[in-house]
Amino acid sequence: VVQFDKDFSEKIGLVKFDFLGLKTLTVIQNAVNLIRRDINPNFDIDDIDMEDRKVFDLISSGNTSGVFQLESSGMKELCKRIKPDTIDDITAINALYRPGPLGSGMVDDFVEIKHGRKQTQYAFPELEPVLKDTYGIIVYQEQVMNIARIVASYSLGQADMLRRAMGKKKPEEMEKHKSIFCEGANKNNFDVQKAADLYDLMAKFAEYGFNKSHAVAYAVIAYQTAFLKTYFPAYFFSALLGSEMDNTDKITGYIQDAKENGMEILPPDINESLWSFNVLPGNKIRFGMGAVKNVGEGAVEAVVREREGHGIYAGFVNLCERVDQSSINKRVLESLIKVGAFDQSEKFNRKTLLENLEMITSYAQKNQKEKASGQVSLFDFGGAAVGTMDTLDVKEFPDFEEKEKLSYEAELIGIYVSGHPLNRYQAIMKQVASAQICEVESLEGQDKREVVLAGLIIEQKALLTKKGDKMCFAKLQDLTGKIEAVVFPKVYEEFQELLNSDEPVAMTGYINLAETPRKFFPNKVFKLQEYAEQKIQALKIVLNPEDLSDKNLELMRKTLLGHRGQVPVYIIVDHHEGKARIPLGPEYSVMPQAKLAAG
């Protein structure tokens, strides 16, 4: 430990190291542990094929949510443009995705040359080994150093001093080095004018120069996460979700992505859940009990330990009898019942279990005390089943309605798991909204961005301004996350009724990109259905070729004819070799409604 600043420490010969604690390394290790548990005990992430075509295809498609460093909307677009097919390309993407290179035209040149629309050019043929991987463009600081060594015979130490001078833009040092560079080029029989031009080019690119060793390390981790997402998606998503258990906004976005990648997300279950997320056969991911409010690590450990030692639980009473009541209290049990953790093992519904909770836990406690003191009941000798509802006087109640169940899930897990009030509106929201809420944080820039967001208003807090006008802070939620909406007095007065309803809405307004976290400032609020009818100009139905069976086409025909309107319909047939767009006739034009989206 030293008390000198960085610059002085470097002057006296000390080396500065940055140690980064990356959550992604834990995600990778947790995914590997699950793969070793279920598939291959010898699986090693360091032994994977680093030239796998399918992995590069996944990255090139922009399906990179959860993939290290490549998951922002801007990165996804860059991946689609560059279409990387080597680890070198991913390394370059990491280095190029910064304001300098994006604004300088470097990225455009890189894309054009990579895809053969522009020719690679080298100031001197001798520089090809240094610049070949980046298509002749100076991207890394190490390239600047190697060019100086080849053209002007710089030593490694001198080359590093040049890199520093360029990076820190010190004019006197830059001029001094330009003379040394041109003299060295002349001695090595390089064209001096060309060398001077090359030096100016290096100086320009050095402003944006990135450390290649850093970019390579990041590229390897990016590739490893993309590999896991490609070949072990359930294990990847399980580990990824587990790393964000305290961040419901991120979990919501990742769950949506997992579903779009063919995963089924299941609520917590007393016989299948662990503390964190668990993988089940058939691309199913089971929520961890640790995600449920009021359920502590000690309670989960006790439940899992007993289950692994003596088999699965036959039901609610069975669990209450077997797990020490000091480890799993009534509050824990109540939360687990409300999120459906006993739905699979118990014949009685959630409402019945809650209403009988006091009686059942008292029975279980008494039973545990008797066993501890060596007492045995008459029924134990008779071989009757212990730990079932049959031995108790249970009063049955009609179950909660679906809306109540979802409300409990949202309250105790922070998100909807087994369903979502907006599921039936999903297709319409995709057509109407300019962005999903999970994408708002990754929008780029420092200005205000006009957006259309759609969803449900789930919270609202009204207040008075200093002038005495009413305004409110509201939370808008879609299927991917939630955002705070600041509704100023004029907008609040005009749309108060809609803001207070429980109907899905569409809101137009702006995001201030300079703010963190981002907030939404709406200027108009509409009923989602009415906005859709006004704004949707066409309905696109995307199908895979295997979906085009006679049965499916007939079902689609009937559904479309059952919702006639003025909006034209197009079928997009999406095949790996390309897409075909087929317009349907005016007789199939529709009214865009939630029922149609659900159909």
Spacing of C-alpha 453 from chain mean position: 19
pLDDT band at residue 390 using 50, 70 and 90 as cut-offs: low
Question: Has residue 128 got a pLDDT over 60?
Answer: yes
Residue 281 Rama label (left phi>0; alpha psi -120 to 50; beta): beta
Q: For residue 376, what are the β-bridge partners?
A: none
511 bridge partner residues? 449, 520
Concatenated DSSP letters of 197-215: HHHHHHHHHHTT-B-HHHH
> In this structure, is the dihedral angle defined by the CA atoms of residues 225, 230, 234 and 237, taken in order, positive or negative?
positive
Tell me how far the alpha carbon of residue 216 is from its chain's centroid: 23
22 confidence band (pLDDT: 50, 70, 90): very high
3-state secondary structure of 254: helix
Q: How far apart are CA 428 and CA 437, in angstroms?
A: 15
- pLDDT at site 170: 74
Its pTM surpasses 0.85:
no
* Cβ neighbours for 169, distance < 8 A, ≥ 6 positions apart: 207
Give the confidence band of 326 by pLDDT, cuts at 50, 70, 90: confident
pLDDT tens per residue across span 329-349: 899 999 999 999 999 998 899
Q: 527 CB contacts (<8 Å, ≥6 apart)?
A: 498, 503, 504, 505, 506
In the chain, what's the furthest Cα-to-Cα distance? 104
Query: φ and ψ at 110, to 5 degrees?
Result: -55, -50
The mean pLDDT of 102-130, rounded to a whole number, is: 91
In which band, very low, low, confident or very high, does the pLDDT at 589 lie, cut at 50, 70 and 90?
confident
State the Cα–Cα distance between residues 351 and 117, nearest whole angstrom: 66
What is the bridge-based pairing of β-strands 470-477 and 482-487? Answer: antiparallel
For range 19-26, the mean pLDDT: 91
Q: 244 and 252 in contact (C-beta within 8 Å)?
A: no
Q: Which residue has the higher pLDDT, 43 or 173?
A: 43
Q: Could you tell me what percent of the chain has a pLDDT over 90? A: 53
How far is the C-alpha of 417 from the C-alpha of 438, rounded, in Å?
17
Cβ distance 391 to 272 under 8 Å? no
Q: Of the ranges 411-425, 544-558, 585-599, which is most confident?
A: 411-425
Q: Please state the rounded mean pLDDT for residues 168-191.
A: 88
Q: State the pLDDT confidence band at 584, using cuts at 50, 70 and 90.
A: confident
Please, which residues bridge with residue 485 across strands? 474, 520
Q: What is the pLDDT of residues 66-88, one digit of tens each?
A: 999 999 888 999 999 999 999 99
Among 214-218, 240-244, 561-565, which stretch is predicted with the lowest mean pLDDT?
561-565
Out of 134-143, 149-158, 218-227, 434-443, pick the least confident.
434-443
Q: Which two tokens stand for residue 141?
A: 């600081």
The predicted pLDDT at position 485 comes to: 93
Taking a C-beta distance cutoff of 8 angstroms, is the pair 181, 201 a contact?
no
Q: What is the pLDDT of residue 383?
A: 38
Place of tokens 């824990």: 332
Average pLDDT value for residue range 97-102: 82
Question: Quick one: 385 exposed, middle or buried, by C-beta within 10 A (0-12, 13-18, 19+)?
Answer: exposed
User: How does residue 55 score in pLDDT terms, banded at 50, 70 and 90?
Assistant: very high
pLDDT digits (tens, 9 = 90+) for 402-435: 889 998 998 999 888 888 888 888 888 888 888 8
Say if residue 387's pLDDT is above 50: no
379 pLDDT exceeds 60?
no
* Most confident region among 412-416, 460-464, 486-490 by mean pLDDT: 486-490
| Residue 443, pLDDT score | 80
How many angstroms separate the first and last alpha carbons of the chain? 66
The secondary structure element, H or E, covering residue 181 is helix 171-187
At residue 381 the predicted structure's pLDDT band, cuts being 50, 70 and 90, is: very low
